[in-house]
Chains A and B, each alone.
Chain A
Amino acid sequence: MTPLHLSDDRLIEVCLLEAASIAEQEHLGACARCDARRARLRRLLDDVSGAAVAEADAAFPPDRLARQLARILSQLQHDGRPGRLIAFPAGHAHEPTVSRTRPSTRWIAAAAVAGLVIGVLAGRFGHDYPLGRPGGTRIAVTRSADAPDLRTGAILEISTAVSEEEFLSQIEIAIDGPAAAALQPLDDLTPLPWEVR
């Protein structure tokens, strides 16, 4: 028989991790104190595992486990399959196309490009043909009442005039410019009208 009592840590090891040596078993058989300590520890561990198991089993009844198993197998069944491709535009559904962007994203990009082009053109147009240029389109501007020359509420007529040819040439200049070149990738992403139909 081992003359020394088993330490608390050794009792834990014996209860949880590994079997007691022959000498330790003999000691536990002969020493009532150590045996009682081991029994108390064993009871505590049983209580803890009993509570944990009961709690987990109550949270996971057999039907929940069955559903979980079904979900796992279903997930595995879909694993490794290629993703579903949605053809765009709709008229070309028969062609196996790889859609890199969602249609809604394309429309947002198209709107953004259209807005930018209009903005660039309008800015350039406004810069080249400032208000006050004689002749052509009439723009009515009401000046504030305290303006000395308009005390009578007179309306200053300002007109800008561009010939059609001049306007188209300005568009061409704008399109050839570096600002428009930067927009080319966005334009490539934008579907053409005949692709959408």
Chain B
Amino acid sequence: MAVSVGAVAPVAPLSRDSQLAAEIKALVVGGERDAARDRYGDLVARQQRRAVRIAYQYLRDAHDADEAVQDAFVKVFTHITSYREDLPFEVWFTRILVNACLDLRKSRSRRLRWSVPMASTKESAPTDPATPEQTPEQRLVSRERANEITTAVESLPDRQRTVFTLCHLAEQTAAEVSKTLGVSEATVRVHLFRAIRKLRRLLEHKQ
């Protein structure tokens, strides 16, 4: 492939996923949609675990997280031609994923408004971060601790939880989170500080 002499090299080297996304975009633009789809399978496999962790932390429901992640990946491929290669793919993808989660939360709240409350419809995933080497008592303590943490994170206001999830679980920088959420970096920091202060208040005294 011919490379233009005047092409400007990117400032920072692209991640493997960003390179892959750029290749897929080129294939789609070149009309090789089937080949692009095959390559996209690799990209999905690389990002999928991270995506479900973010979506699950955000939505707290496995079915909804499943749906949001699927929607996000389909949307990414559909709009791959609008991907800018100078941006990390992870940031672009996370923005689409967070939007998919937000859409799902809105539709879920509309659904809940009209549904009859059940005794307990919340899907509770088997929460057991314990390792097999632990004794039953240790495992019980771990489970209790995990429940406390889950409750504490759930008690955070929406915006704080989103920022905390993106900074901590998705390991995004303040600049990336600000791009993802469309807020200033200062706002990201404020929400993050408040979220962690609250988590400390709720969790540290129980340790």
Chain A residues proximal to chain B, CB less than 8 Å: 8-9, 12-13, 16-18, 40-41, 44-45, 47-60, 64-65, 68-69, 71-73, 75-77, 79-80
Contact = CB atoms under 8 A, between A and B. Distances in A.
Interface of B: 33, 37, 40-41, 44-45, 48-49, 52-53, 56-57, 62, 65-66, 69-70, 73-74, 77-78, 123, 125-129, 145-146, 149-150, 152-153, 165, 167-169, 173-174, 189, 192-193, 196-197, 199-200, 203-204
B69 A51 contact: no
Contacts, number: 124
Given A47-B203, A60-B52, A69 B44 contact: yes
A47 B129 CA distance: 10
B37 A68 contact: no
B202 to A, nearest CB: 10
Nearest to B61: A59
Nearest to B72: A72
Contact of A47 (B41, B127, B128, B149): B149
A130 to B, nearest CB: 52
A58 to B, nearest CB: 5
22 contacts: A17-B189, A18-B174, A44-B196, A47-B145, A47-B149, A48-B149, A48-B152, A53-B129, A54-B127, A55-B56, A55-B125, A55-B146, A55-B150, A57-B53, A58-B126, A59-B52, A60-B65, A68-B69, A68-B70, A72-B44, A73-B41, A76-B37
Contacts of B199: 44, 48
B197 A53 contact: no
A56 B53 contact: yes
B156 to A, nearest CB: 11
Given A12-B192, A48-B153, A65 B48 contact: yes
A44 B200 CA distance: 8
B104 to A, nearest CB: 15
B37 A73 contact: yes
A13 B189 contact: yes
A68 to B, nearest CB: 6
Nearest to A47: B149
